[in-house]
Each structure stands twice: as C-alpha cells, then as structure tokens.
Structure 1
Amino acid sequence: MTIKGSCVCGGVRFELFEPPALMGACHCSRCRKAGSAAYVYVRAEALHWLAGRALLTRYKPRPPFRFTRAFCKRCGTAFGDPETGRVVAIAASCLDDDPGVRATFHEYAPDEAPWAHGCEDAMFGPK
C-alpha cells in the first residue's frame, strides 16, 4: 500500500510505504493555528520524499513546546513534524490518498475551538 501526499503548490511530494499506525486530532491552539489538527503517525522509514524536500522550512518553538513544524516555503502547507524521531507525525490534510485509518484519540480536548462541532447540520454543496 502506498499513500501519496503533497503540498498545495505541488512542490513538495512524498509517499508513505505502509499505512499509518494511527491517526489523532490535537485541539491545542498551536495545532489549529498551524493549519492542521489531525495527524497520522508512521515509522520514519516508511516516509519517502519524492520532490521538494529543500522547500520545507521549519519552525522550532520555545520550551515548554517541543514539536517542530514543517511548512512548504512557497505555499505554506503544513506537514506536521515529519522529520523528528523514529515515528513521525504527518498532517493528515496533506495526504492525497485515504490513509485507511481514522482518528482514535483527541489531545487537548478541553481546548477545542467552540466552533468545531457546529457543522453537523450544515448543507453539503457540490464541488
């Protein structure tokens, strides 16, 4: 199973050579402001960069925060923390294919945005 991912401008592209072990959603303000709160977790060895790795720029936060964030320099797409550790966190929003897993946990649930659960009755429009 190969899962492809990319940024908005297409400059950064990657593949996952195995399905993610799990998916989770973080509701902290930092994840929301970074543009993604859902992450898939995969072994670092399963991530292969196809193009644009040099386009990634990183934001390293000050303590007590510890997760480095990677973004495309051209379009700003958030990739999560794809280069730290043996298991890496990839923003689910940059996956082009269905990862085959769904969120099984929520972090910082008390910090969830008040508007996060207001769309259940919203209309769905065509593309």
Structure 2
Amino acid sequence: MSFTINDLTIGQSASFTKTVSETDVYLFAGISGDLNPAHVNQVASEQTQFKGRIAHGILGAAFISTVVGMYLPGPGTIYIGQELRFRRPIHIGDTVTATGTVTEINVEKNRAKLETTITNQDGVVVTTGVATVMPPTAE
C-alpha cells in the first residue's frame, strides 16, 4: 500500500527493523566498493575507537530507504533527498529500527518531509536525519 500526498498526516510514521549480519556488511562492502578496514578487517578494526568491525553508516541509511520506498509513503515514492547524522556506530549483530515520521506536507508541490531515526536494540539513537520525498500520485 502507498500513501499519496493527500493520505499523509503530520505525525504519521512507519518503521523497519533488521538485525545487521556479517554477511550484510560484506555484501554491502562488495556492492559499494567500500572496503574500509573498519568494516571488513577484524584485526585492524580492533585498533580503532570502536574496538571491532562496524557496519557502514550508509548501510543503515539504506534501511531508511526501505521505510520510504516500502511503507511511508511506500511503493512509487521518489526519494528527493536525505540529510544524515551518524551519532553512534552500528555493530555487526545489532538489531536496528529505522523510523520515518511525517513532519511537513506540501500538497501543491507533492513533497513531504520525514524525520528519520535509526535506533539499536538498546534504544540508542545511532542515526538521525530528514528525508524529502515525492509520494506517488493517485492512480
């Protein structure tokens, strides 16, 4: 199900939850070409401030894309932009929840803004931001 601009309401929200696996991190590294040792080298990553491998921040941001493209506004939505702030790392094995909450609606321009947040299994906010989207039009 998709929501058109006229279906959206301020405060409306949707979420997507996923446990980040080692496979997810390696596949994302291969797809993106980002082979930073912080993500793929256990020995090197143990020397960092994180004391082990972490997921790519943008991998987490992809879960926000899932919210936008699959749940709110949903299929047919065009992602216009995304502001992000990476507050804490996502560790392999973390279960994260990406949430989008409608904060602005511009019917004339068919645009909406969503506050975006990713939290881990402990309720710690790991990523914040704002998504600008163009909801699908009525069929």
TM-score, normalised with respect to structure 2: 0.23
Higher helix fraction: Structure 1 or Structure 2? 2
Higher Cα radius of gyration: 2
